[in-house]
């Protein structure tokens, strides 16, 4: 059961997934099992929804652009870029997967 769309409640620890986020793709590895949120409920159905998932991912800092201010000092703007790769994850994030399309890339084993 790999390379398919999956519901967030069917995820397991160690699964590798991809989601879209603000015109980028995030490649995530799930660290915690799905749990129900203690405080959040769906606005219409009033049913409890899933809490955030703890995941690892890779994010790098790249040089965006440089500019010179009026004093002649050159400034370089650094941008954060999501790298969709299964290797070298360097960041842990809490990701809300409610209402998202989740693509299961690889069914993982316990970490």
pTM of the predicted protein model: 0.79
| Per-residue model confidence (pLDDT) at position 30 | 95
Would residue 111 count as lying in a domain? no
Q: Write the pLDDT tens digit of every residue in 61-104.
A: 998 899 999 999 999 999 999 999 999 999 999 998 888 899 99
pLDDT over threshold 80, residue 109: no
Would residue 102 count as lying in a domain? yes
Q: b/e per residue, 28-64, with b = 16+ CB within 10 A?
A: bbbbeebeeeeeeeeeeeeeebbbebebbbbeeeeee
26-40, 41-55, 77-91: least confidently modelled range: 41-55
44 versus 63: which is more confidently predicted? 63
C-alpha dist (Å) from residue 26 to 51, 65, 69, 83, 98 = 19, 23, 34, 7, 15
What residue numbers bound the domain in which 96 lies? 4-106
CA distance 64 to 23: 17
CA distance 48 to 91: 28
| Per-residue model confidence (pLDDT) at position 39 | 73
> For the residues 15-19, what does the mean pLDDT come to?
94
Number of domains in the chain: 1
CB atoms under 10 Å from CB of 11, counted, come to 23
1 versus 108: which is more confidently predicted? 108
Q: Please name which of 41, 49, 17 lies closest in space to residue 30, comparing C-alpha atoms.
A: 17
| Per-residue model confidence (pLDDT) at position 76 | 92
């Amino acid at each position: 059961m790999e390379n398919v769309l999956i519901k967030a409640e069917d995820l397991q620890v160690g699964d590798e997934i991809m989601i879209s986020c603000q015109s980028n793709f995030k490649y995530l590895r799930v660290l915690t099992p799905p749990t129900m949120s203690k405080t959040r409920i769906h606005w219409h159905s009033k049913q409890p929804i899933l809490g955030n998932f703890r995941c690892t991912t890779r994010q790098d800092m790249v040089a965006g652009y440089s500019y010179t201010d009026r004093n002649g000092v050159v400034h370089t703007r650094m941008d954060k870029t999501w790298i969709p790769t299964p290797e070298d994850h360097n960041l842990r994030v809490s990701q809300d997967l409610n209402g998202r399309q989740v693509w299961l890339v690889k069914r993982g084993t316990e970490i």
